[in-house]
Amino acid sequence: MIIQLEKDIPSEQKKSIIQQIKDIQYKITEVHTQYADYLIAIGKNDFDIRRFGNLPGIKDIHIVSDTFKLVSRKWKVKPTTIDLGDGITIGEGQLAIMAGPCSIESEAQVNSIVTHLKENGVRIMRGGVFKPRSSPYTFRGMGIEGLEMFYKICQENGIKIITEVMQVSQIEPMYPYVDVFQVGARNTQNFNLLDELGKIDKPVMIKRGISGTIDELLQSAEYVFSGGNEKILLCERGIRTYETASRNTLDLNAVPLLKEKTHLPVIVDPSHGIGLRAYIEPMALAAVMAGADGIIYEAHEKPEEAASDGQQTLNFAESRALVKKLNRTFALKQEMKMEV
Amino acid sequence: MIIQLEKDIPSEQKKSIIQQIKDIQYKITEVHTQYADYLIAIGKNDFDIRRFGNLPGIKDIHIVSDTFKLVSRKWKVKPTTIDLGDGITIGEGQLAIMAGPCSIESEAQVNSIVTHLKENGVRIMRGGVFKPRSSPYTFRGMGIEGLEMFYKICQENGIKIITEVMQVSQIEPMYPYVDVFQVGARNTQNFNLLDELGKIDKPVMIKRGISGTIDELLQSAEYVFSGGNEKILLCERGIRTYETASRNTLDLNAVPLLKEKTHLPVIVDPSHGIGLRAYIEPMALAAVMAGADGIIYEAHEKPEEAASDGQQTLNFAESRALVKKLNRTFALKQEMKMEV
Amino acid sequence: MIIQLEKDIPSEQKKSIIQQIKDIQYKITEVHTQYADYLIAIGKNDFDIRRFGNLPGIKDIHIVSDTFKLVSRKWKVKPTTIDLGDGITIGEGQLAIMAGPCSIESEAQVNSIVTHLKENGVRIMRGGVFKPRSSPYTFRGMGIEGLEMFYKICQENGIKIITEVMQVSQIEPMYPYVDVFQVGARNTQNFNLLDELGKIDKPVMIKRGISGTIDELLQSAEYVFSGGNEKILLCERGIRTYETASRNTLDLNAVPLLKEKTHLPVIVDPSHGIGLRAYIEPMALAAVMAGADGIIYEAHEKPEEAASDGQQTLNFAESRALVKKLNRTFALKQEMKMEV
Amino acid sequence: MIIQLEKDIPSEQKKSIIQQIKDIQYKITEVHTQYADYLIAIGKNDFDIRRFGNLPGIKDIHIVSDTFKLVSRKWKVKPTTIDLGDGITIGEGQLAIMAGPCSIESEAQVNSIVTHLKENGVRIMRGGVFKPRSSPYTFRGMGIEGLEMFYKICQENGIKIITEVMQVSQIEPMYPYVDVFQVGARNTQNFNLLDELGKIDKPVMIKRGISGTIDELLQSAEYVFSGGNEKILLCERGIRTYETASRNTLDLNAVPLLKEKTHLPVIVDPSHGIGLRAYIEPMALAAVMAGADGIIYEAHEKPEEAASDGQQTLNFAESRALVKKLNRTFALKQEMKMEV
């Protein structure tokens, strides 16, 4: 059961509500986000929800039987929109496009990509400064200095930044320079990291685990939400299957499934999802038709010289064509949606 | 190495070619299809292809290192088109739409669906009369009498039939009534069945195995082709993964991958692919954007009363809306293709 | 509900039972095996089983809610033993060892292996004459003549034969020469083949599908049983997963799971299961400790010269060592079982 | 290329070696562990290893082409043994048995289990105080106070502790009370955590990821080793597959594969691996026959009252029987090993 409390609920009223929940033997978790206060009550006994519905101090109440609660669309039917400032929002009614290199490599590289993005109307740039790598002997990213440089150039050009955070101790130093914190596929169930990202007031994009289920992704989002932060994006980025013809199996089924289960925006990453340059465009367009709220892909002036992931990175001509087609495809999708 | 022989090659010339292949220790398979004669030569020694290139009697020659040969796009770059007669073709430049019930149940049912298809411009009807079922205690289809009835109604209405063949002994009795023989996911590697379907002159649609790789699907197609039948369609219908949120995981990655590897048309089955009615439309539209040549889906006047697969079957209103959107989506896809 | 009828039930009694089942709206399948007659009744209404329990003509009755019925251990608690004649039985209390080449290649090869088996007390030989191959251009086995030769040598030496049947039309010609018909992993859900194997009176070993679930394997066994043949063996042979370090992932979890769910003997095939010679011994011994009733593995005098599967085939020295260790491991397993 | 340096190499010699590596354009990582100093040199150019082999200051040198280096058996052929003190060692020649509850719950609970372990000769106890849980609303463990209590009881009774560490900031407070740090399946690729565990001098057991490959597990171990800590155990704990009959698919193939690829000890966790109490014993015995160096399982006085994982936890009678059978099975395994 989710109970949303009135904004300025008197403490006496709140105490009384909590007492009545305890009376039916339910366990309570108090959740305070940047927008509202909630009580999550979990238990097994049957009870009459009307008993609570009319209590003073309760703004809204609903029974949600999923393992995830506050991120469920059963609780909040209206899609969530994430505001990045400067008129840039993500969610319902528009297609978010995020592009950039796998790794931030140099000032020249960032400048070249920022120019490309501006020319094509892309306002969010991706780029890693902390890189999770299977082997300890490979390039692990430019770190916080790289991020500062990345930020400086983007800020001057009105571009927002999404970049991966790998551990709790990085959150604070990264905070001033980041518009969206990305949680990578290897950290989807790094619960301590999710807990801490719940305490900040910036958007968090959680990638689906390498073989994570859709329900696990939603439970991970629930960690951030119940930690106090409602600004969450979900990202499908390919799952691990027996098929070896592509790097991963981009699971577009996840898009309509997630759109029904949750009110959070759903982003698709075709670069990691299929992992081969030639197939990124068709999969990105397919993702839009499946209902995605945004696309994140890798682009680089010279993919063959990129420090990492070159084989799945678009060059600028491919990227330019993709942006146009994404917008046309999204326009048709919206049009067909209106008509029904 | 694939060698296509001249149509009326003198037997002396053919003998000479075969001898020269044997001289380099290559194993030869002779292939005679409805369209041409080929020699497939497989071996390990290096040799100079120019030695063969100029031999009299050879129309075309190419080295194909894939495990599949004649179905490879390296051999035949131009996409294959399948002609069903009466102006109905499948492949490049048009979107094939096939719809109908999981099982053929009665004359009334077939009539109702045929009317629906005609009203919406769909000219190919699916419907099973031999049903592969996990349990021996469930409905296994109306059999050959059902097929005759199905055929009679369709023929009167100018509708083509695609239906599943489960075993060799069914091919002959089914032959007069079938326009496309479908090989189900459980029979993708039923090599005896594929061998026999290579001997007929009607199109065969092979579904990807329940956990079949893309290369296995192409090798299964190679069985039919090398058996003598070039009229082959491939069908992505969802693979088995760890995810339980949907019945199967429709693998749209297979679409661009197959379109690059083979010249055969690629059809997508979102009904079996995701297995839940609400998600069939977005996945079907996504399939078109991914590059599919056709969509096959389940439709029924009253899905809730269908003998099988009701949960993944569209009703007529949903089916009507889907056909319109499929055509609009395909039109945009074609338009964007032209521009590049 | 499973009803086992009395051996010589008067037809009046049977009619009456059937009528009463129809009265509760249950669908009936009559099953006649080499050992007994059964009625399988499936429906949804609640009913009082005592109503049937006391009817004349009923020997035994039980409600089995699994999707498989007659193969369930809920129906038959005592493990099934399969008698191959000449004192060779498979099941409870002994370890069946079956070994031999992937493909039957020549008289010399069969003789060499038969001698090896006799020297080591192995009384069942495997060897394929019909080979399912992914590619149509590879060796497909010696066929029925190979089988006749195989049989002649084995019969003279008191060795039983297990070999794969790929299609319905092979059953009759193979019948005189085969002791156990093997259904391969690609045919686990070839329901027509299973139906026909239900009509014969020789044992059938069904391999688990390439990505078949345990329940699907049991339902496939139910096809054979309900077709009329109770002599069934099940075989775990590795499943398809994302892991590429081995050819397949031998799933030993299937052994205790199957032993609890069914009364049929469970055989393990480590050769296909892990697919690499060096690991066959540890996996075979592990299978015995997991509770397997038998092991089937590939052995050849010169694996490096085998027509197929050489990389997963033991040479005679390895095979000899394995047999000894299998017997010692099984002895300990039995000993520890007795003590509890 | 791995270069092990002489213990007291003069800095001039080291500089000279490094210079010569740089001369062939190889990238160098210096590794300093509790036992030795290494240079890991990675590059693409061909070179003559003899050029390095005779340089003063080099104790050993070897080319290892795997993605993992120092943990490879190609580098160190002899199996690694981990010393926990008080005569308790893990690795070659003995079977390590670790048992205990999923979660540490209370002093009474720990006392009861410690008594049980002592009675059965088990000297290592498992038990979580920080619990990774999919949902934020469930019990997350007793934390550091629970660990102190756990330690106090174990120390008085000569029992060693293995327990999970979830994040970097827990390492220091946990350090005094832990004998083996466990890295859970959700953290196998938490590279920051692995880096930090490389800096301590206590053993680390890394569980295979939920769908981690064997090579990824070895690369994660390489993180700890190259960070400076050679005391590493690997643990197979079940992978995620399509099969739903068991919680996970315990992959015993990993045991012989890992034993060939690495010198590190391999532990098997049948409790999480199959996830159902009835099957833990057969899978544990099978693991020993597959070649495992140790077994870790869940035991509790009253599994049905356990705070978590009760369904896969043995009661004391089952645990007692298992320990006996594990030891007998391991004795036979060793005996058969000696004979070959």
Q: Which residues share a beta bridge with A266? A: A234
For helices A254-261 and A214-227, give the axis angle rounded to 10 degrees: 40
CA-based nearest distance D183→chain C, Å: 21
For D2-62, CATH number out of 1.20.272, 3.30.70, 3.30.160, 3.40.50 equals 3.30.70
CATH 3.30.70 residue ranges for chain C = 2-62
**Look-up of token digits 């129906």:** C75
Contact D244 B244 (CB under 8 A): yes
**Per-residue pLDDT reduced to its tens digit, C167-208:** 999 999 999 999 999 999 999 999 999 999 999 999 999 999
Instruction: Provide the token pair at D262.
Output: 């690495």
Mean pLDDT for the stretch of residues D93-117: 97
Q: How many CB pairs under 8 A join C and D?
A: 121
- What is the distance in angstroms between the CA of the first residue and the CA of the last residue of chain D? 33
| Backbone angles phi and psi of D5, in degrees to 5 | -85, 155
Q: What is the spatial distance between Cα D101 and Cα C3, in angstroms, rounded to a whole number?
A: 45
C-beta separation of D260 from D287 below 8 A: no
CA neighbor of C239 nearest in space, from C266, C278, C263, C272? C272
**Look-up of token digits 């010169």:** C302
A336 touches chain B (CB under 8 A): yes
C-beta separation of D124 from D170 below 8 A: no
Among the partner-chain residues A246, A251, A282, the one whose CB lies closest to the CB of B289 is A282
| Backbone angles phi and psi of B144, in degrees to 5 | -65, -30
Give the pLDDT confidence score for residue C309 in this predicted structure: 87
Instruction: Provide the token pair at B308.
Output: 């099988």
**Contacts (Cβ under 8 Å, ≥6 apart) of A119:** A320
C-beta separation of A250 from A238 below 8 A: yes
Mean pLDDT for the stretch of residues D134-139: 91
pTM score, two decimals?
Answer: 0.96
C-beta separation of D266 from D259 below 8 A: yes
A323 touches chain B (CB under 8 A): no
C211 touches chain A (CB under 8 A): yes
**Per-residue pLDDT reduced to its tens digit, B220-254:** 999 999 999 999 999 999 999 999 999 999 999 99
Contact B289 A291 (CB under 8 A): no
pLDDT band at residue C45, thresholds of 50, 70 and 90?
confident
pLDDT band at residue D53, thresholds of 50, 70 and 90?
confident
Give the pLDDT confidence score for residue C160 in this predicted structure: 98
B167 touches chain C (CB under 8 A): yes
Helix, strand, or coil here: A154? helix
Strand C82-85 and strand C88-90: pairing?
antiparallel
Q: What is the spatial distance between Cα A123 and Cα A154, in angstroms, rounded to a whole number?
A: 9
Contact B168 C166 (CB under 8 A): no
CA neighbor of D277 nearest in space, from D295, D251, D297? D297
Helix, strand, or coil here: A253? coil
| Backbone angles phi and psi of C14, in degrees to 5 | -65, -45
Q: If you measure CA to CA, which chain C residue comes closest to A240?
A: C242
Query: Could you tell me which chains touch chain A, where touching means 3 or more CB pairs under 8 A?
Result: B, C, D
Helix, strand, or coil here: D251? coil
Whether the predicted pLDDT of C49 surpasses 90: no
Q: If you measure CA to CA, which chain A residue comes closest to B288?
A: A286
CA-based nearest distance A32→chain C, Å: 41
Q: What is the spatial distance between Cα C76 and Cα C68, in angstroms, rounded to a whole number?
A: 12
Contact B211 D244 (CB under 8 A): no
- Chain A residues in contact with D27 by the CB 8 A cut-off are 137
Contact A251 B249 (CB under 8 A): yes
Residue C85, number of CB atoms within 10 A of its CB: 8
C-beta separation of D285 from C291 below 8 A: no
Instruction: Provide the token pair at B292.
Output: 């599919």
- Chain C residues in contact with B169 by the CB 8 A cut-off are 168-169
Instruction: Provide the token pair at D17.
Output: 């070696």
C-beta separation of B179 from C97 below 8 A: no
C65 touches chain A (CB under 8 A): no
Q: What is the spatial distance between Cα A27 and Cα A30, in angstroms, rounded to a whole number?
A: 10
- Chain D residues in contact with B244 by the CB 8 A cut-off are 244
Contact B40 C67 (CB under 8 A): no
Contact C287 D286 (CB under 8 A): yes
Give the pLDDT confidence score for residue B205 in this predicted structure: 98
Give the pLDDT confidence score for residue B203 in this predicted structure: 98
**Look-up of token digits 């078109």:** B288
Contact B226 C69 (CB under 8 A): no
Q: How many CB pairs under 8 A join B and D?
A: 8
CA-based nearest distance B238→chain A, Å: 10
Instruction: For chain A, list residues with pLDDT below 50.
Output: none
Q: If you measure CA to CA, which chain A residue comes closest to D192?
A: A167
For helices B254-261 and B214-227, give the axis angle rounded to 10 degrees: 40
CA-based nearest distance C193→chain B, Å: 9
Whether the predicted pLDDT of C70 surpasses 70: yes
**Per-residue pLDDT reduced to its tens digit, D227-276:** 999 999 999 999 999 999 999 999 999 999 999 999 999 999 999 999 99
Touching B: A residues 276-295, CB under 8 Å: 278-279, 282-283, 285-291
Give the pLDDT confidence score for residue D294 in this predicted structure: 98
Instruction: Provide the token pair at B270.
Output: 């979102």
HSE at residue C335, side-chain half, CA atoms within 13 A, is 11
D331 touches chain C (CB under 8 A): no
Q: What is the spatial distance between Cα C211 and Cα A116, in angstroms, rounded to a whole number?
A: 46
Give the pLDDT confidence score for residue A44 in this predicted structure: 86
C49 touches chain D (CB under 8 A): no
Contact C191 B68 (CB under 8 A): no
Give the pLDDT confidence score for residue C47 in this predicted structure: 84
Whether the predicted pLDDT of D305 surpasses 70: yes
Give the pLDDT confidence score for residue B54 in this predicted structure: 84
CA neighbor of C265 nearest in space, from C36, C44, C97? C97
Q: Going residue by residue through chain B (340 aa), what tens digit of pLDDT does each one get?
A: 999 999 999 999 999 999 999 999 999 999 999 999 999 999 988 888 888 888 999 999 999 989 999 999 999 999 999 999 999 999 988 999 999 999 999 999 999 999 999 999 999 999 999 999 999 999 899 999 999 999 999 999 999 999 999 999 999 999 999 999 999 999 999 999 999 999 999 999 999 999 999 999 999 999 999 999 999 999 999 999 999 999 999 999 999 999 999 999 999 999 999 999 999 999 999 999 999 999 999 999 999 998 888 899 999 999 999 999 999 999 999 999 987 6
What is the percent of chain D where pLDDT is above 70?
100
Whether the predicted pLDDT of C158 surpasses 90: yes
Identity of the residue numbered D143: G
Q: Does domain A82-339 have CATH number 3.20.20.70?
A: yes
Give the pLDDT confidence score for residue C340 in this predicted structure: 61
Give the pLDDT confidence score for residue B340 in this predicted structure: 61
Q: What is the spatial distance between Cα B100 and Cα B98, in angstroms, rounded to a whole number?
A: 7
**Contacts (Cβ under 8 Å, ≥6 apart) of B178:** B147, B151, B161, B162, B163, B165, B202
- Chain B residues in contact with D211 by the CB 8 A cut-off are 242
pLDDT band at residue D148, thresholds of 50, 70 and 90?
very high
Q: Which residues share a beta bridge with B126? A: B162
CATH 3.20.20.70 residue ranges for chain A = 82-339
Among the partner-chain residues A241, A289, A340, the one whose CB lies closest to the CB of B321 is A340
> Sheet harboring C2-5: ordered strands across?
C27-32, C37-42, C2-5, C58-62
Query: Where are the alpha helices (H) located in B175-314, listed in sequence order?
Result: 191-197, 214-227, 254-261, 270-274, 280-290
- Chain C residues in contact with D208 by the CB 8 A cut-off are none
Contact C244 A240 (CB under 8 A): no
Whether the predicted pLDDT of C279 surpasses 90: yes
A253 touches chain C (CB under 8 A): no
- Chain A residues in contact with D208 by the CB 8 A cut-off are none
Query: Where are the alpha helices (H) located in B270-315, listed in sequence order?
Result: 270-274, 280-290
Give the pLDDT confidence score for residue D340 in this predicted structure: 61
**Contacts (Cβ under 8 Å, ≥6 apart) of C279:** C246, C270, D253, D256, D257
For helices A143-156 and A107-119, give the axis angle rounded to 10 degrees: 30
Residue D335, number of CB atoms within 10 A of its CB: 10
Q: What is the spatial distance between Cα D14 and Cα D1, in angstroms, rounded to a whole number?
A: 16
Q: What's chain D's average pLDDT? A: 95
Q: What's chain A's average pLDDT? A: 95
Residue D157, number of CB atoms within 10 A of its CB: 15
Q: What is the spatial distance between Cα C323 and Cα C121, in angstroms, rounded to a whole number?
A: 8
Give the pLDDT confidence score for residue A128 in this predicted structure: 97
Q: What is the spatial distance between Cα D131 and Cα D127, in angstroms, rounded to a whole number?
A: 10
Give the pLDDT confidence score for residue A340 in this predicted structure: 61
**Look-up of token digits 């009625």:** C39
Q: What is the spatial distance between Cα D231 and Cα D221, in angstroms, rounded to a whole number?
A: 10
Touching A: C residues 14-43, CB under 8 Å: none
Whether the predicted pLDDT of D339 surpasses 80: no
Give the pLDDT confidence score for residue D51 in this predicted structure: 82
**Per-residue pLDDT reduced to its tens digit, D156-202:** 999 999 999 999 999 999 999 999 999 999 999 999 999 999 999 99
Q: What is the spatial distance between Cα C143 and Cα D302, in angstroms, rounded to a whole number?
A: 59
D241 touches chain A (CB under 8 A): no
Among the partner-chain residues B42, B192, B211, the one whose CB lies closest to the CB of C167 is B192
CA neighbor of C3 nearest in space, from C54, C37, C32, C43? C37
- Three-state helix/strand/coil letters over D117-186: HHHCCCCEEECECCCCCCCCCCCCCCHHHHHHHHHHHHHHCCCEEEEECCCHHHHHHHHHHCCEEEECHH
Interface probe, candidates B26, B169, B190, chain C, greatest C C-beta count within 10 A? B190
CA neighbor of B277 nearest in space, from B240, B304, B254? B304
- Three-state helix/strand/coil letters over B77-106: CCCCCEEEECCEEECCCCCEEEEECCECCC
B207 touches chain C (CB under 8 A): no
Helix, strand, or coil here: D83? strand
Mean pLDDT for the stretch of residues C43-67: 89
Interface probe, candidates D130, D192, D241, chain A, greatest A C-beta count within 10 A? D192
Mean pLDDT for the stretch of residues D129-134: 93
- Chain C residues in contact with D250 by the CB 8 A cut-off are 252-253
Query: Could you tell me which chains touch chain C, where touching means 3 or more CB pairs under 8 A?
Result: A, B, D
Dihedral, B66, B68, B70, B71 alpha carbons, nearest 10: -110
